[in-house]
Amino acid sequence: MSNLDLECFRTDPYQPPYVNVLTRHINPVLTDLPEERVVLGPREQLCVPVAKNGVYPPPEVLDFIRFVDLSCYRIEGITVNRSLRLTQLNPQLQDVPDKSVTITRPQQLCVPVIKNGVYPPPEVLELVSYIDLKCYLAQPQTSMDRTLKLTHLNRVLSDLPDHYARVTYNRQLCVPVQKNNQPMSHYVYNIVQYIDLEKYDIQTPAFVTPYNLRINHINPDLTWLPTEPVTLYYGHQLALPVAKNGVIPPG
pLDDT at residue number 168: 97
Give ∠ CA 104-26-24 in degrees, rounded to 5: 65
Name which of 100, 194, 88, 196 is nearest 146 in CA terms: 88
Q: Are 22 and 36 in contact (CB under 8 A)?
A: yes
Of 74-83, 152-161, 180-189, 238-247, the one with minimum mean pLDDT is 152-161
Q: From residue 222, how far is each of 92, 112, 179, 226, 240 by CA, in Å? A: 35, 9, 10, 9, 25
Name which of 109, 123, 85 is nearest 177 in CA terms: 109
In terms of Cβ atoms closer than 10 Å to its own Cβ (0-12, 13-18, 19+), residue 23 is buried
**CA-CA distance, 211 to 234, in Å (whole number)?**
9
146-163: average pLDDT = 92
Residue 251 has pLDDT above 70, yes or no: no
Spacing of C-alpha 42 from chain mean position: 17
What SS3 state is found at 206? coil
In terms of Cβ atoms closer than 10 Å to its own Cβ (0-12, 13-18, 19+), residue 83 is exposed
pTM: 0.96
**DSSP summary character for residue 62:** H
User: Which pLDDT tens digit goes with each residue over 10-54?
Assistant: 999 999 999 999 999 999 999 999 999 999 999 999 999 999 999
